[in-house]
Amino acid sequence: MLDVIANRHSLRTYTDEKIEWKKIKVMLGECMQVSSYKNSNYWEFTVEDKDLLHKLSKLHYRSSHISCSNICIAVLGNRDRFIKVGKWVQGLGSCTQNILLEATNQGLASCLGGVFPKTKRVDYVREVLNILENLVPYALIPLGYSDEEFELVNRFNKYKIHINLYEK
């Protein structure tokens, strides 16, 4: 597990190799294991593997890499299951992180693309993927195999940790 966390990295170039569907199924299964407010399971997903990847890549200036991904998962929140204001955001963050970690575990490259809370991005993804009004596009996760090389960075900083009282 520690290896997977340390090796997770945003990679934005992908080869043409197809991702096996069973890998996606495992990933989404793991998403649905995350904690949610009063077990309200407010997540839904769309999995795009065709022409719309190009349209999704036009989301904003830092999403062009989506067009060369093999699959793009959209993580969505289901308003009908939002029991309390704002709680769903944390749950979908956990779902998203599980996808990124399971992708790394399976040897796949990924790079999170933020959608919510920017209204323009939410509306764009809704339109491209034909998403119903009760669902809120939260994040896009393009996936693929990659040849890209990267260096592991250790971001540990002891000054970020405060034991008991906050110290400057």
Ligand X SMILES: Cc1cc2nc3c(=O)[nH]c(=O)nc-3n(C[C@H](O)[C@H](O)[C@H](O)COP(=O)(O)O)c2cc1C
Q: Which residues bind ligand X (CB under 6 A)?
A: 9-10, 12, 62-63, 111-114
* Minimum distance of ligand X from residue 24's CB (angstroms): 20
* Minimum distance of ligand X from residue 116's CB (angstroms): 9
Of 91, 69, 87, the closest CA to residue 146 belongs to 69
* Minimum distance of ligand X from residue 40's CB (angstroms): 22
Q: Measured from the CB atom, is 62 or 120 closer to ligand X?
A: 62
Beta bridge partners, 144, equal 109
Q: Measured from the CB atom, is 25 or 62 closer to ligand X?
A: 62
Q: Which two tokens stand for residue 16?
A: 């043409």
Q: CB of 96 within 8 A of CB of 8?
A: no
Q: Is the peptide bond before 137 cis (omega within 30 degrees of 0)?
A: no
* Minimum distance of ligand X from residue 131's CB (angstroms): 18
* Minimum distance of ligand X from residue 114's CB (angstroms): 3
Q: Measured from the CB atom, is 40 or 93 closer to ligand X?
A: 93
Q: Measured from the CB atom, is 10 or 13 closer to ligand X?
A: 10
Which residue is at the shortest CB distance from ligand X?
A: 114
Q: Measured from the CB atom, is 23 or 114 closer to ligand X?
A: 114
Q: CB of 77 within 8 A of CB of 138?
A: yes
